[in-house]
């Protein structure tokens, strides 16, 4: 089963984001032994966000994420998703296209 992880990033360090993701992946592998995690984290995103256009950069990354989300059978939303623009959009897309969703607090 392919799983996409939707994770808020605003105000978090790359180290925190990666660790939170690792925790989620560990829990998901316990629940789903044959899981394949879609690698949707874009390294360098936070740096690019600081140095380039603060509007177009997040939209471009969101578009790339939705492209990857299309291959998922399950989308897992991590803590704080309900206050993150990108996560809210990803949740709406998943629901509208009938992709299963799960809320997880790693």
Question: What is the per-residue pLDDT for 11?
Answer: 87
Q: Characterize the bridge pairing of strands 100-104 and 2-6.
A: unpaired
Q: Which residues 6+ apart lie within 8 Å of 52 measured at CB?
A: none
The domain limits of the chain are: 1-7+51-106
User: Which candidate, 39, 38, 37, 45, places its Cα nearest to that of 14?
Assistant: 45
Q: Is 1-7+51-106 assigned to CATH 3.20.10.10? A: no
Confidence at residue 1, expressed as pLDDT on a 0 to 100 scale = 94
Start-to-end C-alpha separation, the chain: 20
pTM over 0.85? The answer is yes
Q: What is the mean pLDDT of each run of 10 residues along the chain (106 residues)?
A: 94 91 96 93 68 76 93 97 97 98 92
């Amino acid at each position: 089963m392919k799983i996409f992880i939707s994770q808020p990033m605003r105000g978090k360090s790359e180290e925190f984001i990666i660790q939170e993701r690792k925790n989620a992946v560990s829990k998901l592998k316990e629940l789903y032994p044959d899981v394949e995690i879609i690698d949707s984290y874009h390294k360098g995103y936070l740096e690019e966000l600081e140095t380039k256009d603060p509007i177009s950069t997040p939209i471009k990354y969101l578009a790339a994420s939705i492209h990857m989300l299309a291959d998922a059978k399950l989308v897992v939303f991590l803590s704080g998703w309900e206050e993150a623009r990108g996560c809210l959009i990803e949740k709406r897309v998943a629901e509208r296209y009938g992709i299963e969703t799960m809320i997880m607090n790693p």
